[in-house]
Structure 1
Amino acid sequence: MKDIQTRADVEFLVNKFYDQVIKDDLIGFFFTDIAKIDLSKHLPKMYNFWESILLGNPVYEGHPMAKHFPINEVSALEEKHFNRWLQIWEKTVHDNFEGENVENAIARALNIARIMSFKMSNARN
């Protein structure tokens, strides 16, 4: 296996991740029923997001936190949901890549999950 080094690697990773996450019993409904994401529009944004984070190419424009507050209002995004998201992310990363950027991908996802969980919880209180 190789490290995450190119846009193609990021796209492969994100595609593999979404293949799993939208089918997940615990969190899939957030994507399919609550947010009703259109993968043809959503995935390119996620490619840009992760390319910016993992490869340092500033191609992502947006406010990911803001997109999650309306979802949280419909159905609470709880710590257990972020933990599952992270579990699927880690497995997907480790199943397909190895190297320095792999550890970065997991560390960054962990930080994202913690911050999102904290902010979503505070928004409900």
Structure 2
Amino acid sequence: MVITSPLRLKKGKITVMTDIELRQPLADIQTDEDVAKLVYTFYDKVRADELLGPVFEEAIADWGPHLQIMCNFWSTMLLYSGKYKGDPMSKHFSLPIDPSHFSQWLSLFNGTVDTLFQGEVADNAKARAKNIARIMQSMLGFTPNNNN
């Protein structure tokens, strides 16, 4: 089952956010729980996406470890936690992707950030995602779309 509603992580459990929670003023990304909320909500959208879903489902056999790696990656990128050690770029070289996948990935990522958070770290998340998409496209031999 793929959930496309915003999620929250509370006491180690992931649940769907209530309407009241969604109407509250948005806070910035501050904790690993916030990062997990971003990652889990984003990847639920990716998995449900017509363009991205099939690519990710084919490439990822076990989502649990992948999501933990992504939480560690974004925690390192946004909170400077140092939890991620690895080479994120090389894992994407063999995937059947083109510039349209990067545009959609970035659109879903930015939309997820904007739905869940606001503030300096949230803005940094979107800027870093844009830079990641640009670098990856360049490494794959694509001309990055400057609108992304």
Same fold per superposition (TM over 0.5): yes
Compared CA separation, residues 115 and 7, structure 1 to 2 (3 A): same
SS at match of 1:70: coil
Identical-pair percentage: 45
- Which one has the bigger helix percentage? 1
Task: Tell me how large the CA RMSD over aligned residues is.
Answer: 1.0
In structure 1, what is the equivalent of residue 85 of structure 2? 61
- Which one has the bigger strand percentage? 2
In structure 2, what is the equivalent of residue 51 of structure 1? 75
Are residues 1:40 and 2:64 paired? yes
Q: Report if the CA contact (8 A) 1:31-1:37 is conserved.
A: no
- Please report the TM-score for the alignment, with normalisation by the length of structure 2: 0.76
Amino acid at match of 2:33: A
Matches within 5 A, 1:10-89: 10-33=35-58, 35-71=59-95, 75=96, 77-89=97-109
Consecutive unaligned residues in structure 2, runs of 5 or more: 1-25, 143-148
Aligned length: 117
Are residues 1:96 and 2:140 paired? no
Higher RCO, 1 vs 2 (CA within 8 Å, ≥6 residues apart)? 1
Question: 1: distance between equivalents of 2:27 and 2:107?
Answer: 21
Structure index of larger Rg: 2
Amino acid at match of 1:64: P
Question: 1: distance between equivalents of 2:99 and 2:35?
Answer: 26
